[in-house]
Amino acid sequence: MTTYVIKGVRPYGEDAVDLVITDGVITELAPVGTGKGEVIDADGLIALPGFVDLHTHLREPGREDAETIESGSQAAALGGYTCVHAMANTDPVADTAGVVEQVWRIGREVGLVDVRPVGAVTVNLDGTHLAEIGAMANSAAKVTVFSDDGKCVHDALLMRRSLEYVKAFGGVVAQHAQEPRLTENAQMNESALSGKLGMVGWPAVAEEAIIARDVLLAEHVDSRLHACHVSTAGSVEVIRWAKSRGINVTAEVTPHHLILTEDLVETYNPVYKVNPPLRTQKDVLALRQALADGTIDALATDHAPHPHEHKDCEWGAAAMGMLGLQTAFSVVMETMVEPGLLDWRGVAERMSVQPARIGGVESQGQPIKVGSIANIVVIDPKATWTVVPEALASKSSNTPYAERTFPGTVVHTFYAGRPTVIGGVLA
């Protein structure tokens, strides 16, 4: 049994303590200099509950050339995460107990973060046949989040049935809101810019119409809905209205939708191609406000690794998606903390507490207090760093932030009481 002392750290940016961890649990918040054990220096740094990602593409099984559960877990730990939800659009799709148990088991073997598999809503993401949700819920992986992410459960009846069906298992349907007919061959946000560039547009209404339909369905069948990667100001309004009506809906926003806008498409550099697409500055500001006021409950990375050749090509041929795990905190720091939209307790809520609650992961998102499981991230808000794509732990390098300098670094990460990252490198 090892005892770790995170020395001089400030939980939630408040008074400095020696944070003592014994046997995976926070056992003491002692005056600075009094903690006994293996000392990890964190003088003046800030401790938050380890981050929880509701939306991660680990690509295994099937596309191990882009990412593996191991490389994705490393990227997660380095980004301050102690839990990720592995999306179901793998090959084979995570639509059976067998696949979700495999992902869960490999995640345990890697042992850097909790890897919580997300189960597909429909067989092979085909949008027509309900997958064996019960089998996945009752498997060793204990799946609670179900999503066809990458595709929308667009059939209204099937969406209704899935919302009803998951109630038996305390589950939630995480919807990728994209009306398929309105987004055929869509390449970017539909706007004056898409008209100018001659690209097929992905209109905001294609997201908003599905979210509006789904909150009403969730209300009708009294179930839980989660809206993935909300990207428009209009979606925020719909969710705000639904919450005010008492509908059981939660929502997430990605880091890139908090900081990047559609103008970047003018470079035709596919590193900026993502789904849902980058929107306008008006949307960005509405999303930041919504994350601040809780209309959007959680930050979720939508970490989407792609091999080099899928981005080193013309725009139309390129894959959609960007890396997010190792840059998420810094984006939140720049867009939410520095402008005063979120304080440290707010960051903990949006990046840990709420995603853990939505994902039903009791061991995660626990407060920094004696008795809590020691999933902890220690960050340095004063440090800056410059993103070097090849230096990221991910097997892919499709980050939109190459050469960009960000505020805020992840210094140490503790997963279930064990250091996974010390001094910014894997422990």
Partner 1 sequence: MRHLLSAGDLDRDKALLILDTAAEMAALSDRSVKKLPTLRGRTVVNLFFEDSTRTRISFELAAKRLSADVINFAAKGSSVSKGESLKDTALTLEAMGADAVVIRHWDSGAPYRLAHADWIGGSVVNAGDGTHEHPTQALLDAYTMRRHLRDGKGALEGVRVGIVGDILHSRVARSNVLLLQTLGAQVTLVAPPTLLPIGIDTWPCEVSYDIESVLPNVDAVMMLRVQQERMQAAYFPTAREYSRLYGLNGDRMRLLPEHAIVLHPGPMNRGMEISAEVADSDRAVMVEQVANGVSVRMAVLYLLLGGAKE
**Cα gap 227→340, rounded to integer Å:** 25
Single out the residue of 3, 268, 341, 422 in contact with partner 1 (rule: CB under 8 A).
268
**Cα gap 77→401, rounded to integer Å:** 19
**Cα gap 384→378, rounded to integer Å:** 15
Nearer to partner 1 by Cβ, of 167 and 308: the residue is: 308
- Residue 71 makes contact with partner 1 by CB under 8 A: no
Task: Give the N- to C-terminal CA distance of the chain in Å, as an integer.
Answer: 17
Helix axes of 204-221 and 233-244: crossing angle, nearest 10 degrees: 10
Q: At closest approach, how far in Å is the CB of 197 from partner 1?
A: 6
Tell me how many residues contact partner 1 (CB under 8 A).
Answer: 24
Q: At closest approach, how far in Å is the CB of 406 from partner 1?
A: 25
Nearer to partner 1 by Cβ, of 82 and 231: the residue is: 231
- Residue 182 makes contact with partner 1 by CB under 8 A: no
Among 265, 387, 278, 252, CA closest to 331: 387
Which range in 145-153, 199-207, 209-217, 342-350 contacts partner 1 by CB under 8 A? 199-207
Beta strand residue intervals within 133-278, DSSP E: 145-146, 172-175, 188-189, 201-202, 225-227, 249-253
How buried is residue 424: exposed, middle or buried, by Cβ count under 10 Å (0-12/13-18/19+)?
Answer: middle
Nearer to partner 1 by Cβ, of 140 and 200: the residue is: 200
**Cα gap 251→261, rounded to integer Å:** 20
Nearer to partner 1 by Cβ, of 144 and 194: the residue is: 194
Catalytic one among 302, 312, 343, 380? 302
Nearer to partner 1 by Cβ, of 194 and 327: the residue is: 194
- Residue 192 makes contact with partner 1 by CB under 8 A: yes
Single out the residue of 33, 62, 316, 423 in contact with partner 1 (rule: CB under 8 A).
316
The bridge status of strand 25-30 relative to strand 81-86 is unpaired
Nearer to partner 1 by Cβ, of 104 and 202: the residue is: 202
- Residue 205 makes contact with partner 1 by CB under 8 A: no
Single out the residue of 193, 292, 383, 426 in contact with partner 1 (rule: CB under 8 A).
193
Cβ proximity of 9 and 47 under 8 Å: yes
302 is catalytic: yes
- Residue 191 makes contact with partner 1 by CB under 8 A: yes
Cβ proximity of 137 and 130 under 8 Å: no
Single out the residue of 38, 309, 338, 362 in contact with partner 1 (rule: CB under 8 A).
309
Residue indicated by tokens 């869509």: 186
C-alpha 69: how far from chain center: 15
Q: At closest approach, how far in Å is the CB of 212 from partner 1?
A: 20
Single out the residue of 156, 168, 313, 391 in contact with partner 1 (rule: CB under 8 A).
313
Catalytic positions: 302
Q: Applying CB under 8 A, which residues contact partner 1?
A: 187, 190-201, 203, 267-269, 309, 312-317
